[in-house]
Every structure is written in structure tokens, then in C-alpha cells.
Structure 1
Amino acid sequence: MIRLRQLEAFRAVMSTGGVTSAARMLGISQPAVSRLIASLEESMGLSLFDRRQGRLYPSYEAKFLLEEVDRAVSNLEHLSRLSEDIRNQKAGHLRLACLSGFATSLMPTVIAEFLKDRDDVTLSIQTRSGLRVREWIAAQQYDIGVADEFEGHTAVQNEPLDIRTLCVMSPQHPLAGQRVIQVGDLHNMPMIVQDRENRFFHRVKSVFDKNGVTLNVKVEVRQFATACLLAMQGVGAAIVSSIDAAEYTNRGLIARPFEPEILFRLDILYPKFHPRSLLLQDFITHFKTRLEPFIHQADYYR
């Protein structure tokens, strides 16, 4: 069997013109180089050098093989570096599917941080509804998905996380001066809510109903980001994910704790029957670390 070290010795002798220089290049002894050359000739069944007066002279066969040996050694060195990068999560490709709104809030920051100093890592991201994300993950089209209100699938493994929510509004809103917004404070006030097909809308509506508070729906939206932008424009107040609220508070959006607390269910999805690469495991760890400030702590440590 031909070994990489034999090829390295052969290439060193060919490039330097002698065993002494080759030994210096490789950082080994001259006898070690000679042994490697002899064992390579034995493995190939070829005489690669003529030995005259203590010197090695390349044969025709050696000159003919040199280009292929150069290519083989380069490929093996590249493979060695690549395998090391893979072990250290520095190379590979990730396929990510997530909610459309999430792709414009925290996810770009998560991706940018993760790809920093990972020149040989590539990533593809696709955005759709939570239902479509679930379908993609079940079909193993993506390595990881981010959805909301996951209802279960035999081919999908999920990790549920309860995300804190906040009540957001413009600085001119009548409640902007309060430190905490109670549900009763929003009685009959214009509200921006998620569309009625979304479970989070019904969670909010249930809290209003249980407390005898009228939910005055002014605008229905599909994404929390849209609700934040409308709230900034003074259209009404909104109860949104703390992740989305954080994206707009530095632009003037007012965000306040809301009582009673309403949690937004976020799910990290994985194909159940597809192994997770080391790179994916590292991304998951990084992603969950960035989510920590927004997670309902009782849920996170249970």
C-alpha cells in the first residue's frame, strides 16, 4: 500500500535534487528519506532512481510519475485540511428553513455571527409559513427549521421554546408612560393582532375574554415585524414576540411587559431520521445561546 509519507519523500527528493536537502525539507533524517524511497519503489514495483556514487538520479518512470504524485499529495493534503475543518466545524453546508418573519429579525444576526471565521462554511436559507417549514423538514430537504405552534409529525423531531412577549406601541400612545401594561389598560383600544387563523391570536383573545376586556382589532397581520412597524406609526398597540420587539426598540418603538403573561410558542425542527452533522450541532448550540434572553426562563430550565 502506498502511503502519503512515501509520496512526500519522493516529491521532496525530486524537487530538491538530493536526499540531504529532502531530509531537511521534511524535517527527518537522511536514512529515513532513503527508507521511504525504497519502500515506495517496493510498493510500486518500479525502480524510481538510479543510485550512483551515493546520489539518486531520477529514472524516466520517476519523471513520468511526478505530476501525478504532485496532484495526489495536494489532494491528500487538501483532504486532511478539510477533515480537520469538518472536525472543528469550519467547513460544510447547512440548509435552514424558517418563518418569514424570523428571517428578518434575529436570524440574520445568528447566521452572520456563526459564519464569521468559517470561510469554508456555506448556508442556504428558505422562508415560508410554519406549515411549509414542517413539510420541508419531514422531507429532509433542510437540516433545521424554525416554526411556530408545531402540531407534530412522525418524521419530525421538535424542540419547543416559549418566547416572552411584550406590548409595543408608539411613543405617543396613551399608555407609553406606563412601566407595565395590564390587559385592562387595553380595553377597546385599537390593536394590531396576528391573523385569526394563527393560534397566537386565539391565545391573546382568550386572555382578553377571560378578563372581560374588549379586544378592538384594528389591523390583522401575519408577521410580528409588521405589527411593530404599524405600532411605531401610531396605528395601535400590539402584543408581539420579544425577539421582534428587540429589533425596533432602538428605532423608537416602546416595548413594555404585559400582564397576564402570554407566551409565544417557537419550535426548532429537525428531520427525525437524518443524522446531525458536527457543523449542525455547533449551529444549534449557537442559535439557542442567542435565543436565551428571549426565552421564558421557567420553560428553559425545566
Structure 2
Amino acid sequence: MPMTHRQIDVFRALMQAGGVSAAAQALNSSQPTLSRELARMEQQLGYALFERTGGRLRATAAAHSLFEVVQQHYQGLAAVQSRALALAQAEAQPLQVLAQPALAHALVPAVLKRFALEHPEAHVDLTPAEGMSLVEAMAAQRFDVALTEQVQPPPGCESEPLSETAELAVLPAHHPLAQRARLSLTDFGGQPFISLADDDPYRRQIDAAFAAAGVARVLRLQTHSAVAVCALVAAGLGLSIVNPFTARACAGPELVARPLDWTLPFRLTLLRPLQRPRHRLAAPFEAALRATLQEPPQAPRQRRRT
């Protein structure tokens, strides 16, 4: 008949304490109870585990051999408990989301709104980053998912292309060109133009397109942020071209977004770390992301009449 869990606990306490009294105290039991349990255990096994000498117990060779296995059992239980605790702590950790600032402002809020419907108690930590900061953070495996326009994944990451949409023109709602349904490169000739930073890849592509078309713009303002570009446009300081997520998010009474008659694609990419344990909320977040991207773009808000 196999030993019960209680008998294993009693045996281990007796081996470690070296006596019934100390073992009973360790197990919060009584000496008579442990003595009866030991006698019953030896009867079931068919051999003695201890020799009784002067009121003390002396473990037999069989007991020492059995104790090695019992210790392995408890070490295994300790490993299970440690792992369970580590997993519980990991489950409680927020989903770490990294996104380019434009996407953190214009796309992720809609994704999290949908995500929260299914996971209202979820904790999410959203960090905006771009350029080398984003690459280094993902290469260091510090985030669970990342959203970027970069196509090539950083070291230690995999990438999944999500969408490819065209950049949009943004202009003040009161500008004469706002009456047009679509703009061409020549429409920007002689107009104040708000540029992205010199090192921005989209800035370089936009400048190359205007140069190839022989269109000269008035270039006095530039910024690193597409959101800041839209704020400057809404203030009436010029026209610009930005990614479609930011253009639609910022469209309103003071700013309108218009398609262009030439295409500058904006590619959205999902990054996953390969060495970081997969967070249980990563897949639901990605599902909410895909569902949000499949929604038709909302029409820009109309300018209020005064």
C-alpha cells in the first residue's frame, strides 16, 4: 500500500527532528498521534524505519534510502511553488507596448478601447519611442509588442507587416485648397510647408518627390513629431504631408486631411521579441489591433460654422 501524503510528511519530520517529540511540535501534532502513525506506516511497508533506543529514534538504512527520494520530492514541490509564484507575478505585470509617437497618439488609443471591452481589468503600459530608441528597446527585449513604420526587425525580434496606406496632405480648414477633394504636388508650389525633421525617412522621400517635380515650397518650420506638424498646420502656419493615422486623428474644425494624386506608402509593422516570454495579453492586444485596422477610416470632423 503506497504511503499517503500525511505519512510522507510525518516520515520527513521524524528524519529531520530525530525524535517523536520534536517532530510532533514541527507538525503541530501530539507524540501519541505520531507514534501511532509511524507504527501504522511501518506495518503497511512491512519493514522498520527506525530503531527505538532510549526513547530516541535511530533511522535504519532503509529509512535513509527512502529519505533521499522524499527530499527529491520536496525539492520538486519547492520548484513547482517557485515557478507558480513567478508565473503569478508575471501574470500581474502590465502588457508592455512600445509605439512610435504618432501611432501611440493616433492608433493605439482606438486599439486599447476595443481591447478593454474584452479585458477591462488588464494593465497596459504604453511607451512612445522612435528611431534608435525603439530599435534598442526591442533588441533588449524590454517590451511585449511594438508598433512601428520600420520594415526590418531589430536583432532578436520578428516582424509582421500589418497595413500599407498612403500618406495624406493636411492643411488649415480655411485654406483655399481645402475645397479640393485631392491635391497634387504642384498645389504646394510657393506654399509655406511644415516639414518633419531632416533625418526622418519620410521627410527625405517627400523632399525628393517635390524636387523631381520641380516644385518649390517655402520651408521655414520643421519638427520631429507628426502630431506637432498637425498642430502647426491647424494654427494656420502652413501645409504638410503626414501619415494617415495622425492626419485622421488630428482632423477637425481647424484642420482637414486630403488624399494626394501620388502615393507615398506608410507601412505599419508589428514587432515581437523572440527571447522575452510571451505575455498572455499579447495575442488579445494583437487581435484588437487587427480588428481596429480593418475598420473603415472615419470621416474627418466637419468644421464648425460661426
Report the counterpart of residue 210 of structure 2 in structure 1: 208
For residues 100-122 of structure 1, the C-alpha deviation after alignment (integer angstroms, 9 at most, x for no partner) is: 23222221232233123424421
Q: CA deviation at 1:142?
A: 0.4
Q: CA deviation at 1:208?
A: 0.9
For residues 108-141 of structure 1, the C-alpha deviation after alignment (integer angstroms, 9 at most, x for no partner) is: 2322331234244211122222321121111111
For residues 260-287 of structure 1, the C-alpha deviation after alignment (integer angstroms, 9 at most, x for no partner) is: 1112233321113345344211211211
CA distance in 2, matches of 1:261, 1:193: 18
Report the counterpart of residue 137 of structure 1 in structure 2: 138
Report the counterpart of residue 284 of structure 1 in structure 2: 286
Q: Is the 8 A contact 1:93 1:121 kept in 2?
A: yes
Structure-2 change in CA distance of 1:117 and 1:156 (3 Å): closer
Q: Is the 8 A contact 2:148 2:270 kept in 1?
A: yes
CA distance in 1, matches of 2:182, 2:113: 34
**Percent identity at matched positions?**
23
TM-score, length of structure 1 as denominator length: 0.64
* SS of match in other structure, 1:259: coil
For residues 241-278 of structure 1, the C-alpha deviation after alignment (integer angstroms, 9 at most, x for no partner) is: 11111112233311111121112233321113345344
Report the counterpart of residue 128 of structure 1 in structure 2: 129
Report the counterpart of residue 63 of structure 2 in structure 1: none
CA distance in 1, matches of 2:190, 2:294: 34
CA distance in 1, matches of 2:252, 2:109: 17
Q: Is the 8 A contact 1:130 1:146 kept in 2?
A: no
Report the counterpart of residue 246 of structure 2 in structure 1: 244
Report the counterpart of residue 94 of structure 2 in structure 1: 93
Q: CA deviation at 1:149?
A: 3.1
RMSD over equivalenced CA pairs, Å: 3.0
Report the counterpart of residue 27 of structure 1 in structure 2: none
For residues 147-173 of structure 1, the C-alpha deviation after alignment (integer angstroms, 9 at most, x for no partner) is: 233554331212234232211111221
CA distance in 2, matches of 1:147, 1:131: 12
CA distance in 1, matches of 2:296, 2:222: 24
Report the counterpart of residue 18 of structure 1 in structure 2: none
TM-score, length of structure 2 as denominator length: 0.63
Q: Which amino acid aligns with 2:234?
A: M
Q: Is the 8 A contact 2:172 2:235 kept in 1?
A: yes
**Corresponding residue to 1:269 among 266, 271, 274:** 271
Q: Is the 8 A contact 1:134 1:269 kept in 2?
A: no
CA distance in 2, matches of 1:132, 1:269: 14
How many pairs align?
Answer: 219
Report the counterpart of residue 106 of structure 2 in structure 1: 105
* SS of match in other structure, 1:243: helix
* SS of match in other structure, 1:102: helix
**Corresponding residue to 1:178 among 180, 184, 196:** 180
Report the counterpart of residue 6 of structure 2 in structure 1: 44
For residues 36-85 of structure 1, the C-alpha deviation after alignment (integer angstroms, 9 at most, x for no partner) is: xxxxx965359xxxxxxxxxxxxx97xxxxxxxxxxxxxxxxx9xx99xx
CA distance in 2, matches of 1:159, 1:142: 16
Q: Which amino acid aligns with 1:108?
A: P
Q: Is the 8 A contact 1:245 1:255 kept in 2?
A: yes
Q: Is the 8 A contact 1:192 1:237 kept in 2?
A: yes
* SS of match in other structure, 1:149: coil
Q: Is the 8 A contact 1:168 1:237 kept in 2?
A: yes
* SS of match in other structure, 1:142: coil
CA distance in 1, matches of 2:138, 2:121: 24
Structure-2 change in CA distance of 1:270 and 1:294 (3 Å): farther
Q: Is the 8 A contact 1:166 1:241 kept in 2?
A: yes
* SS of match in other structure, 2:245: helix
Q: Which amino acid aligns with 2:201?
A: R
* SS of match in other structure, 1:264: strand
Structure-2 change in CA distance of 1:197 and 1:293 (3 Å): farther
CA distance in 2, matches of 1:95, 1:294: 27
Report the counterpart of residue 118 of structure 1 in structure 2: 119
- Higher mean alpha-carbon deviation, 118-127 vs 128-137, is at 118-127
